[in-house]
Amino acid sequence: MKFIQSSLLALAMLFSLQAAADKVAVLGVEEAVLKSDAATDLRKQLQAEFSGEEKQLLELEKQAKALQEKLRKNQGLQSKDEEQKLRLQFQKAFGQYQKQGQELQQKRAERQQAFLAEMRPKLDEVIRDIIKKQGYDVVVAKQATVYADKSVDITAAVIEALNKK
């Protein structure tokens, strides 16, 4: 219910803004940043930088799965001590897999946050320039719109301008 009320309020604000504004545009800010050449370069750089760690992670995953499968197949067919030893090996391998996976994910997230912080001033400048040059009265977040004609979407223009910076 609260979502519907919020949506209706946003729609009402949008229509009232549109009535008061001559030129309205929508912009997918996140989309613009993620589709920029700089973001593509970052993805390639991260892939190269973390490829060794990703290989290690895949190897740990294979080891853990192999141990889990061995444990499942041999359950009840070996002594309790052997079964316990195998279970501990699996838990250790799985624990290492989880730990390294989380560390890798954290490193990637930190690099992406640094990239976004670096891109923010460029993005703001590009958006301000486009607004000024095109004379927009209102620019609405694309994610906040229910419908917008493609002719009012300036995301592609922002991506193009970002790529030139």
pTM equals: 0.65
Q: What is the mean pLDDT of residues 138-156?
A: 91
Phi, psi (rounded to 5 degrees) for 135: 70, 40
pLDDT tens sequence across 87-106: 888 899 999 999 999 999 99
Instruction: State both tokens at 81.
Output: 């001590």
Q: How confident is the model at residue 73 (pLDDT cuts 50, 70, 90)?
A: confident
Domains with residue ranges and CATH for the chain: 2-164 (3.30.910.20)
Q: Is the pLDDT of residue 12 over 70?
A: no
At 114-144, the pLDDT tens digits run: 999 999 999 999 999 999 999 999 999 999 8
In this structure, of 9-18, 19-28, 63-72, 139-148, the range with the lowest mean pLDDT score is 9-18
Position 10 scores a pLDDT of 53
**Locus of tokens 């996140």:** 30
Instruction: Return the exposure string of 86-111: e unless at least 16 CB atoms fall within 10 Å of the residue's CB, then b.
Output: beeebeebbeebeebeeeeeeeeeee
Whether the predicted pLDDT of 17 surpasses 60: no
Alpha-carbon distances, residue 8 vs 4, 15, 66, 145 (angstroms)? 6, 10, 54, 11
Give the pLDDT score at 83. 81
Per-residue pLDDT, 59 = 94
Please give the Cα distance from 117 to 111 (Å, whole number): 10
